[in-house]
Amino acid sequence: MNDLRAFREHLHNCLVRRTDALFELCDAVLAASNAPSPAHLSLEAVHRRGWGSLYAALSKGSLDVEALQDLLAQQPLAEGHSGSGPRVYAVDQSPWPRCDAEASPGRGYYYHPSRHSAGQPIVAGWSYQLVAEIGFERDSWVAPVDARRVPPEQDANDAAAEQIRALVSRLARRDAGGSEPPLFVFDAGYDPVRLQQDLEVCHAQILVRLHSTRAFYADPPKPERRPVGRPFVHGKKFDLKDPSSWHEPSAEHCSEDAGYGKVRVRAWSGLHPKTRRAGERYGSGSAAVARGTVVLVEVERLPRGERRRKPKKLWLWWNGESEPALGLLWRGYVRRFDVEHGVKMLKSGLGWTTPRVRHPEQADLWTWLVLAAYTQLRLVRGIVADRRLPWEKPLPIQKLSPTRVLRNFASLLPALGTPARAPKPCGRSPGRPKGKLSGRAKRYPAIKKSA
């Protein structure tokens, strides 16, 4: 409880303009479970201001983003770090659909798994990229540390590299550079070559899933005599779908897991892919070639609930400063899917994408408030009682899901108190001057990315 009170005090200090209104708005998000609109949040008892101050706080309020990022980074996921291994972070994108918001600038077209447009899983809106710490416990808890809106004209790989460099810098200031480099896990939508080149001097490890149709190459053998013409760049081919092209692995790990059965992990180091860009391919000699480690994960079965599907080979690309810890890599990628459960909780439980704000800056401010609310749920885990439906199984307090913690969080707010000041009476608003019209808002078409 003391940790939660300290977090709330620091959160209040991170808010710059409309401080008290923004703080009470964050409390209203926790008190109201999945409100249909922001106006319904003003009906909560913890929100002592009118509904007009709620919208004014989103349009005119501001916060210190760097201070809030430092505050979130100081709340590690206890289950995700044992003190001896590196911290593991997952990076993932999620769209905020704004299909009919023609007056909202900065929209683009993004993939959406459940909403379609003209028969395609594409929606118009904003795209946010989240970085969250993940653990190895079998639950749906994550620790979000950063969120950034990626404009349509910016590449997601470049945005991810900027987020990682900023996070590694914050962790280095806190740990004084004595910890192991953190591991960042990506899905197959990211380019491992781009990430590796952008993070070349960064104290971090990357783990990216590969498509099974890719091929890599070893370094060419050194010629006995001076070659005529341009020397070879690629050596023996390593085709992921052709086992006959696989040579002896440089490292191997075998273990037994309760959910996956027998697990075999093999790694081939010193491989590089072919790149289409001449600068990446030849650049400044051999240093321009992106070399890394290709990892193959094979499991005996899938966990309970997914065993009707046959397990497939999992190919990963790893790059780091030292030798890869294969036992950590495969478990780190398997737990990457927890960040998707976290995004679902942010949207369905805390109403992340519910407000129909016009400007993307308002969406950024609301996103930070939702991340701060989710962090408070995680800090109170193990304190609140379990309120479950009749058909739900009883769980220990330490194993409660975010949804169950949210059900009982409102009962703790009176005991926690609030650093926000009471509202002052301001009288009746004069409203819009007589005869003045707002006019038609400017239209902004959604931006299409060029191939």
pLDDT at 282: 41
Kindly list the distances between the CA atom of residue 391 and the CA atoms of 164, 203, 386, 394, in Å, as whole numbers in the listed order: 42, 47, 14, 9
On whether both 44 and 121 belong to a single domain, the answer is no
Using the predicted structure, report yes or no on whether residue 352 has a pLDDT greater than 60: yes
Helix (H, G, I), strand (E, B) or coil at 418: coil
> What secondary structure letter does DSSP report for 447?
B
- Residue where one domain finishes, among candidates 282, 317, 342: 342
pLDDT at 61 over 50: yes
Does 169 share its domain with 256?
Answer: yes
pTM: 0.90
- Tally the C-alpha atoms within 13 A of residue 272's C-alpha that lie toward its C-beta: 21
What CATH number does the domain containing 334 carry? Answer: 3.90.350
Q: What's the pLDDT band for 425 if we cut at 50, 70, 90?
A: confident
pLDDT at residue 277 in the model:
53
Q: In this predicted structure, what is the pLDDT of residue 451? A: 53
Same domain, 21 and 139: no
Does residue 353 lie in a domain region?
no
Q: Read off the pLDDT of each residue in 41-62 and give the average, rounded to a whole number.
A: 90
Domain span including residue 53: 2-63+380-416
443 in a domain, yes or no? no
Region 186-190 average pLDDT: 93
242 and 131 in a common domain? yes
User: pLDDT-based confidence at 84, cuts 50/70/90?
Assistant: low
Structural domain contains residue 315: yes
- Cα dihedral 270, 177, 84, 257, rounded to 10, equals -40
What is the per-residue pLDDT for 274? 84
Nearest Cα residue to 97 out of 107, 105, 85: 107
Residue type, 102: E
Check whether residue 204 and residue 322 sit in a common domain. Answer: yes
Residues 214 and 103 in one domain: yes
pLDDT of residue 293: 94
Question: Beta partners for 148?
Answer: 129
Q: Determine contact, residues 217/273, Cβ cutoff 8 Å.
A: yes
Does a structural domain hold residue 350?
Answer: no
pLDDT value at residue 179: 76
pLDDT of residue 438: 81
- Is 272 found in the same domain as 161? yes
Average pLDDT of the segment spanning 13-18: 94
Among 322, 342, 362, the domain boundary falls at 342
Asked if residue 98 belongs to a domain, the reply is yes
For residue 199, pLDDT beyond 80 = yes
User: Each residue of 242-290: pLDDT tens digit?
Assistant: 999 999 999 999 999 988 899 999 999 999 998 765 444 444 444 467 8
Q: Which residues, listed in sequence order, are joined to residue 314 by a DSSP beta bridge?
A: 297
Distance CA 157, CA 143 (A): 21
The answer on 8 and 93 residing in a single domain is no
- Say yes or no: 153 and 265 in one domain: yes
What residue type is assigned to position 363 of the chain?
A
* Residue 54, phi then psi, degrees to nearest 5: -65, -50
Question: Over the chain, what is the mean pLDDT?
Answer: 88
Number of domains in the chain: 2
**Residue 419: pLDDT above 80?**
yes
Give the percent of the chain with pLDDT over 70.
94
pLDDT given for residue 287 in this prediction: 46
Give the three-state DSSP class for 238.
Answer: strand
* pLDDT of amino acid 210: 95
CB atoms within 10 A of CB 236: 13
The pLDDT of residue 50: 86
| pLDDT for residue 183 | 95
Residue 13 sits in the same domain as residue 129? no
Q: Is 266 a member of any domain?
A: yes
Mean pLDDT of 76-93: 75
The closest of 341, 347, 338 to 33, measured between CA atoms, is 347
The two counts, helices (H) then strands (E), for the chain are 13, 14
Q: Find the mean pLDDT for residues 334-353.
A: 92
Same structural domain, 29 and 128: no
Does residue 308 share a domain with residue 246?
A: yes
Instruction: Classify burial at 369, counting beta carbons within 10 Å of its beta carbon; exposed 0-12, middle 13-18, buried 19 or more.
Output: buried
Instruction: Determine the 3-state secondary structure of 126 from DSSP.
Output: strand
Question: Smallest Cα–Cα separation from 350: which of 364, 367, 327, 362?
Answer: 367
Q: Is residue 188 part of a domain?
A: yes
**Looking at the chain, how many residues does it have?**
451
**Strand locations in 20-107, DSSP E?**
62-63, 88-97
Q: How far apart are CA 152 and CA 201, in angstroms?
A: 27
pLDDT for 49 beyond 60: yes
Question: Is 68 within the bounds of a domain?
Answer: no
